[in-house]
Structure 1
């Protein structure tokens, strides 16, 4: 009985209240006709609730989100198809989908009955402004009677997953004349086949043959080094993202770093690079293609509590290929440690983010830029997302002269910091 009363709408409860009042007055006056009307008003909502509860509607729900992965600020469309797989025609259905607060209000739809073996389809859009992984659903359907006296809610179990990636900023392709970052049109270069002086060794790993030990590099680095048999640095890259909370401070700086990593990573994937994603916590395991791994990871990445870059630098040192690093606030010591991760003649570039307008941040960024530039890195500084595309072009300007060509932005920043 409690379930029956719980299924009543406001109109149904008013009917019951009016019926009880009329029945009471019919007994007190006494007036048999008024008593009959009162009983009718009480019984009608209860019979509707009983009938709606006994109705065995069998509904199936199929959901689809298009696209399943979307950059922040772009719309995605949800399509829901309800099918009636029972022999009975449904009554009035009120459908409401469960949507996270960040995606807006819950959409509601009215379906005026679905016949046997029939179906109804409805669509709605969401436009997320914040990256993340969102679960949409399940769908809730309220079964109402024709008089609007009863409403029974039933929920499906199926949900949809929407992955909202960082905003992707288009980056221009470097001129073919200066392919310092590599160009698939110019083919791949095998460093191991270029002579003894051009060998780019890596640290010894368990299982490596002792015949591949490079003794000159072993003496230089103070640890056992082996030759890379097939090290193609023109088409391989390691994308390094500094996620340390202490390196960014403000959330704006961290989001800028994530946007930069997503934009550069998508650009590299489009250019056919065999790339890896690394953070200060180490290499991110690949799930599928590099692009899929990159976007799925950056959609949910959060600042880390790591204080140093040791884990990430160790992963960089063993990965090989060219390095593209997106960095927050660095000390000079951390910059020197990162500079040593570059092996042989492989290119290395760094985007230094300036977290805020404080003189300390600018001076520390300038010092880190000078250390990296002195080690043969190309360096550019970025203060906001509008500067990213221009900084990417500056990193390739004069690239025909090799990794050390051009004047890095870090040197200019150092000059401005000294003048201040």
Structure 2
């Protein structure tokens, strides 16, 4: 019954033609037509029995190179099929499952896989949209040489392709205050009066004897131990404005996508300099599994979506509660003077504030008078404001983050 259900349209046509020929042979009394009818009926039936009784055992593995691909770039998917039985396979139709954003489903035909044989199949996928896209499961259709019967089997394994925002290489810019509050990412010692100074101190109950400083012990006449060094990590905060009403345009070239790309570029650039960033949006802080690694930030930005929020209050509150950052960078859409004043209060001595203001006027052609007022408010508070027009690369304006501008 499984084989009969697997009959293709060609197989059903053969079976119907055979039955019709058989009826005509009985009505007309033609023995030759009867032989033809039996042959036509037997072909799909025998093919269904052979395919249904086939016991192929195949193993499947999938590899993505790279597993994280920027928007608009190719990623190569490699399928590895292995016949783990002693019997060679027949004709196999291989089809992988893809979401619409990655393109059409790839289909391949494998004529024969010998016993213990291995076949590798490569194909490329590309997406112009950010996100996490599952690939798989792989389905295999077993068919007979005449195409009369087709039996489908599926694997359960799936993989995920992460399409991250486009990252623009930025020129090196030294941001004063970038390392305040946490030092740099290399090992440092605190002041000599600090509890973790490398200078020896008196032995305390429970100290590891391997930390005993014997030279100081001999000099002082009592046990002295070395103080451990402390790992310092520079910290910063990256605010991304995801409010729908603050951006213009649709699709990959919208101001929102440009803002996400700018945040990714800045985050990767600063992470390469050893700065631990935390990501904050207008919805509040975003969880990063490893704030010191650029891939963690890119994974979070790959799935960020526009919000329906009307203000930046949650994002500003998250920045205010975080504290300890020597650097705050805000990638903003259209903001008014009240929102600019709330951001301006985050700037105080020892903190460097950099604001990347997208010139949303370039996306819809309507003037944004509030942007000029907001720019003045931030500049007056000591923020370094970068204006990013439509069609301009962030790398072009990024050097302006190295110095402050006086308010007009």
Q: Distance in 2 between matches of 1:281 and 1:312?
A: 6
Q: How does 1:24-173 map to 2 (within 5 A)?
A: 24-173=23-172
Which residue in the other structure is 2:294 paired with? 291
Q: Pairwise CA RMSD of aligned residues?
A: 2.5
Which residue in the other structure is 1:273 paired with? 275
The reply on whether 1:391 has 2:393 as its aligned counterpart is no
The reply on whether 1:326 has 2:331 as its aligned counterpart is yes
Displacement of 1:291 in angstroms is: 1.2
Q: Contact 1:65–1:78 (CA<8 Å) still a contact in 2?
A: yes
CA pair 256-51 structure 1, distance change in 2 beyond 3 A: same
Which of 367, 386, 403 is the aligned partner of 2:373? 367
Q: How does 1:298-317 map to 2 (within 5 A)?
A: 298-317=301-320
Q: Contact 2:89–2:112 (CA<8 Å) still a contact in 1?
A: yes
Displacement of 1:11 in angstroms is: 2.6
Q: Contact 2:177–2:351 (CA<8 Å) still a contact in 1?
A: no
CA offset digits 1:208-233 (Å, max 9, x no partner): xxxxxxxxxxxxxxxxxxxxxx9989
Which residue in the other structure is 1:259 paired with? 261
The reply on whether 1:352 has 2:357 as its aligned counterpart is yes
CA offset digits 1:295-339 (Å, max 9, x no partner): 111111101122222221122122322111101111111111111
Q: Contact 1:329–1:355 (CA<8 Å) still a contact in 2?
A: yes
Question: Which aligned segments of 4 or more residues in structure 1 are displaced greater than 6 angstroms?
Answer: 230-233
Q: Distance in 1 between matches of 2:232 and 2:389?
A: 33
CA pair 43-314 structure 1, distance change in 2 beyond 3 A: same
> Could you say what secondary structure the match of 1:236 adopts?
strand
Displacement of 1:241 in angstroms is: 0.6
Q: Distance in 2 between matches of 1:188 and 1:24?
A: 90
Q: How does 1:394-409 map to 2 (within 5 A)?
A: 394-396=400-402, 399=403, 405-407=404-406
Which residue in the other structure is 2:245 paired with? 246
Displacement of 1:407 in angstroms is: 4.9
Q: Distance in 2 between matches of 1:62 and 1:343?
A: 54
Displacement of 1:100 in angstroms is: 1.2
Displacement of 1:135 in angstroms is: 0.8
Q: Which is further off, 387-396 or 293-302?
A: 387-396
> Could you say what secondary structure the match of 1:303 adopts?
coil
Normalised to the residue count of structure 2, the TM-score between the two structures is: 0.82
> Could you say what secondary structure the match of 1:27 adopts?
helix
Displacement of 1:360 in angstroms is: 6.8
Q: Tell me which protein shows more helix as a share of its residues.
A: 1
> Could you say what secondary structure the match of 2:21 adopts?
helix
Identify unmatched segments of 5+ residues in structure 2.
192-229
Q: Contact 2:243–2:307 (CA<8 Å) still a contact in 1?
A: yes
Q: Contact 1:314–1:341 (CA<8 Å) still a contact in 2?
A: no
Q: Distance in 1 between matches of 2:115 and 2:50?
A: 18
Q: Contact 1:15–1:41 (CA<8 Å) still a contact in 2?
A: yes
Q: Distance in 1 between matches of 2:177 and 2:139?
A: 53
Displacement of 1:148 in angstroms is: 2.0
Aligned residues: 358
Q: Contact 1:131–1:166 (CA<8 Å) still a contact in 2?
A: yes
Q: Contact 1:382–1:388 (CA<8 Å) still a contact in 2?
A: yes
Which residue in the other structure is 2:344 paired with? 339
Q: Distance in 2 between matches of 1:167 and 1:188?
A: 28
Q: Distance in 1 between matches of 2:392 and 2:61?
A: 41
Q: Which is further off, 102-111 or 339-348?
A: 339-348
Identify unmatched segments of 5+ residues in structure 1.
194-229, 400-404, 412-420
Q: Distance in 1 between matches of 2:177 and 2:112?
A: 61
CA pair 336-267 structure 1, distance change in 2 beyond 3 A: same
Q: Contact 1:232–1:321 (CA<8 Å) still a contact in 2?
A: no
Which residue in the other structure is 2:176 paired with? 180
Q: Contact 2:179–2:235 (CA<8 Å) still a contact in 1?
A: no
Q: Contact 1:231–1:321 (CA<8 Å) still a contact in 2?
A: no
CA pair 385-172 structure 1, distance change in 2 beyond 3 A: farther
Displacement of 1:351 in angstroms is: 0.6
Q: Distance in 1 between matches of 2:70 and 2:287?
A: 22
Q: Distance in 2 between matches of 1:331 and 1:119?
A: 62
